[in-house]
Amino acid sequence: MTQDELKALVGQAALDYVVPGSIVGVGTGSTVNCFIDALAGMKDRIAGAVSSSEKSSERLRAHGIRVLDSNTVERLPVYIDGADEIDHRGNMVKGGGAALTREKIVADLAERFICIADESKLVDTLGKFPLPVEVIPMAATQIARRFKKHGGDAVLRAGVVTDNGCHILDVRGLSITDPAGMEAEVSQWPGVVTVGIFARHKASVCLLGTAQGVKTLT
């Protein structure tokens, strides 16, 4: 199966986790696009969606799915999103699509994070995929210096301004052996809006698309 077919497979499988009548938390990316397209088939059985990006909101609306402001929602039963990397404990690196801040905000509203990914995303140790970090532009160089001390090489993602008007650093060369510790530390650096390590908001379930079908990791 191709990577796109695996993404379609897990996008479809994620429908099993949607609670009928509820508002669904919806992430961002090509795998989530497959989920949104599948969700359209049950749009009359959900109350709407809270989305983590303008792009996902547009796609949801194009299917006639109501998009709610996150401020109007207190709790979501599930948040369904992809990942750039996921380890065997559900820790993730996210932000390849530059939506990491809103992704963490919506994940924080949710009782369960359902990660949908093709098997290429499963790793033993996070860090091979360059770690995205959303930053306030005036702090970018200082934050890059701090990563240097941790053995990371941070490069500004050219031409990208996030939905929040900020910039993205992509940090190569890290081996993230303590995801929770690193997330907590980097989150405190002045000028960091969001670090793309999702350890505090790790996946409760991962639906992994493999050549043998969907594997459920819990």
Q: Is there a catalytic annotation at residue 103?
A: yes
Query: Nearest approach, Cβ of 32 to ligand 5RP (angstroms)?
Result: 6
Strand order in the sheet with 192-195: 153-156, 167-172, 131-135, 192-195
- Evaluate whether 137 touches 167 at the Cβ level (below 8 Å): yes
Q: Which residues bind ligand 5RP (CB under 6 A)?
A: 27-31, 81-84, 94-100, 103
- Evaluate whether 134 touches 194 at the Cβ level (below 8 Å): yes
Query: Nearest approach, Cβ of 161 to ligand 5RP (angstroms)?
Result: 14
7 is an annotated ligand-binding site residue: no
209 is an annotated ligand-binding site residue: no
Question: 63 in helix, strand or coil?
Answer: coil
Q: Which of 5, 74, 103, 119 is catalytic?
A: 103
48 is an annotated ligand-binding site residue: no
31 is an annotated ligand-binding site residue: yes
Residue type for 32, please?
V
CA torsion sign for 191, 197, 200, 205 is positive
Query: Nearest approach, Cβ of 12 to ligand 5RP (angstroms)?
Result: 14
- Evaluate whether 67 touches 60 at the Cβ level (below 8 Å): yes
**Please, which residue, 143 or 194, has the CB nearer to ligand 5RP?**
194
**Please, which residue, 35 or 147, has the CB nearer to ligand 5RP?**
35
How far is 210 from 95, CA to CA, in rounded Å?
23
Would you list which residues are annotated within the binding site for substrate?
28-31, 81-84, 94-97, 121
Q: Residues with catalytic annotation? A: 103
Would you list which residues are annotated within the binding site?
28-31, 81-84, 94-97, 121
